[in-house]
Amino acid sequence: MRIDIISVVPGLLDSPFSHSILKRARERGLLEVNVVNLRDHTTYARAQVDDYPFGGGAGMVLMIEPLVNALESLQRERVYDEIIYLTPDGETLNQPMANALSLKTNLLLICGHYKGIDQRFRDHFVTREVSIGDYVLSGGELAAAVMVDAIGRLIPGVLNDESSALSDSFQDNLLAPPVYTRPEEFRGWRVPEVLLSGNHKKIDDWRHEQSVARTKDRRPDLLDD
């Protein structure tokens, strides 16, 4: 899979894809991430990419022209399955969306800044608008990093143990059960005996019960779906 990201602050995305699982995914050739600086695609003086909003009001708006220039230069190389604008008024990112996007070949993520981007770009080029939660970030870059992480780890072959993504929270609308590792006892706190029993059927049943109990307690809304 290839993910291109258009940003006015590309430096914000220098490191998130260079460690741990995403680093391995890139090294294995399973994921390619490419960050494009919007300022390289403007014809305005002093690399201007934003301007005051028509009608007045606070903040600046990213202009349509540099966005279209950047998009069209990327589209000369590949066809995108989705052109996604990161925005707090988009549909909220969730695990089913990450699962579906992990099966795509080419994604383009557009990061807004200041007061957002010219609505005409959203109307005529963006195919999907995504929010990572009900709070406002200062730009779309950190949201893009969250999306790349959530999607990238699901690409087949990225996680060593294929089953480990299947047992994540949300994969079956349940939160993940508690996990323990060595030592068996610390300050008198023991690991639940069932996990030491070697009985895999019992362990699976216990984990499922724990998942259901945790979901009822913390996220009963997930059980309504």
List interacting residues with ligand ADE (CB under 6 A).
Answer: 86-88, 112, 131-133, 135-137, 140, 143
User: Please, which residue, 45 or 136, has the CB nearer to ligand ADE?
Assistant: 136
Q: Which of 62, 37, 25, 35 is nearest to 145 (CA)?
A: 35
User: Please, which residue, 54 or 135, has the CB nearer to ligand ADE?
Assistant: 135
Give the phi and the psi of residue 52 in degrees, each rounded to 5: -70, 150
Provide, rounded to whole angstroms, the least separation between the CB of residue 97 and ligand ADE: 13
Provide, rounded to whole angstroms, the least separation between the CB of residue 10 and ligand ADE: 16
Tokens of 135: 């709070």
Alpha carbon distances (Å) from 111 to 12, 142, 182, 203 = 11, 9, 43, 44
Provide, rounded to whole angstroms, the least separation between the CB of residue 45 and ligand ADE: 27
Give the phi and the psi of residue 9 in degrees, each rounded to 5: -130, 65
User: If DSSP codes are grouped into helix, strand and coil, which group holds residue 71?
Assistant: helix
Give the phi and the psi of residue 199 in degrees, each rounded to 5: -90, 100
User: Please, which residue, 3 or 143, has the CB nearer to ligand ADE?
Assistant: 143
Provide, rounded to whole angstroms, the least separation between the CB of residue 152 and ligand ADE: 17
